[in-house]
């Protein structure tokens, strides 16, 4: 057997052995779904569906209003974000969704995306709500594109 082949198999086995430990850390730190990404955490925690609340921020006297229903054109962006968020946790932020909303609604100058995630608290056994709020503002020099600098994140955990 060639040394290269043997080394490749051994490296793969080490990666297979170490990765789930990294995965557990990602689950703890970023709420990555323990069921996914080859961490072997199937059936280790309930999977509860998350959703988002969208609020438009306007420069006029209205100030802010909740977006009750989403335009069909924007629905795929929302579903894509929710899917990624449910599996990759807080490694995924709603930048693309916010950008699509700001592009679609030129009259607003910001958008507030609140991700609401029901979780089963293992200590109390109760299903609780956890939310994370992301606020995006248009930059004055580039009204169409939200930037990282213009984004604020706050959480309620």
Partner 1 sequence: MGFMQSAAKIRAFQVIFALVICTEYWTKALARWADVDAADGMALAAATLLGAAALSGRRRRTVFAGFAALQAWYVWSNFPLTGNHRYLELFFAALFAVLDDEKEEERRLLLRSVQWTVIVVLFYSGLQKLAHGYYFQGQFLAYSLWRDSFRTALAPLVSPEELGRLSSYSGSVGDGPYLVSSPAFLVVSNAAWLLELALAPLLFFRATRPMAWIAACVFVLVTQLVARELLFGVEFVAALLLFARTDIIRRAVLPAALFLGLLVLIRLGMLPEVIFH
Burial of 88 (0-12, 13-18, 19+ CB in 10 A): middle
- Residue partners of 88: CB distance under 8 A and separation at least 6: 30, 32, 33
Q: Determine the size of the site formed for partner 1 (CB under 8 A).
A: 44
User: Quick check: 6 binds partner 1 (CB under 8 A)?
Assistant: yes
User: Quick check: 3 binds partner 1 (CB under 8 A)?
Assistant: no
In contact, 49 and 85? CB cutoff 8 Å: no
The one among 66, 103, 128, 142 contacting partner 1 by CB under 8 A: 128
User: Quick check: 124 binds partner 1 (CB under 8 A)?
Assistant: yes
User: Quick check: 140 binds partner 1 (CB under 8 A)?
Assistant: no
CB of 20 to partner 1, least distance (A): 4
Nearer to partner 1, 47 or 71 (CB): 47
- Residue partners of 53: CB distance under 8 A and separation at least 6: 66, 113, 114, 116
User: Quick check: 17 binds partner 1 (CB under 8 A)?
Assistant: yes
* Phi and psi, residue 21, nearest 5°: -70, -40
Consecutive H or E run containing 120 = strand 110-120
In contact, 97 and 78? CB cutoff 8 Å: yes
The one among 3, 68, 72, 122 contacting partner 1 by CB under 8 A: 122
Burial of 44 (0-12, 13-18, 19+ CB in 10 A): exposed
User: Quick check: 5 binds partner 1 (CB under 8 A)?
Assistant: yes
Question: Near partner 1 by CB under 8 A, which window of 11-19, 54-62, 93-101, 141-149?
Answer: 11-19
Return residues touching partner 1 (CB under 8 A).
1, 5-6, 8-9, 12-13, 16-17, 20-21, 24, 27-28, 33-46, 48, 83-84, 87-88, 118, 120-129
């Amino acid at each position: 057997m060639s040394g290269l082949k043997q080394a490749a198999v051994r490296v793969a086995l080490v990666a297979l052995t170490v990765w789930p430990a990294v995965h557990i850390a990602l689950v703890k730190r970023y709420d990555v779904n323990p069921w996914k990404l080859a961490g072997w955490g199937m059936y280790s925690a309930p999977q509860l569906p998350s959703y988002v609340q969208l609020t438009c921020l306007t420069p006029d006297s209205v100030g802010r209003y909740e977006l009750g229903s989403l335009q069909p054109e924007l629905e795929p962006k929302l579903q894509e974000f929710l899917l990624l968020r449910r599996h990759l946790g807080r490694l995924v932020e709603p930048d693309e969704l916010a950008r699509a909303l700001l592009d679609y609604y030129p009259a607003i100058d910001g958008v507030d995306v609140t991700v609401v995630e029901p979780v089963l608290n293992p200590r109390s056994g109760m299903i609780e709500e956890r939310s994370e709020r992301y606020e995006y503002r248009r930059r004055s020099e580039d009204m169409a594109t939200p930037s990282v600098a213009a984004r604020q994140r706050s959480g309620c955990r």
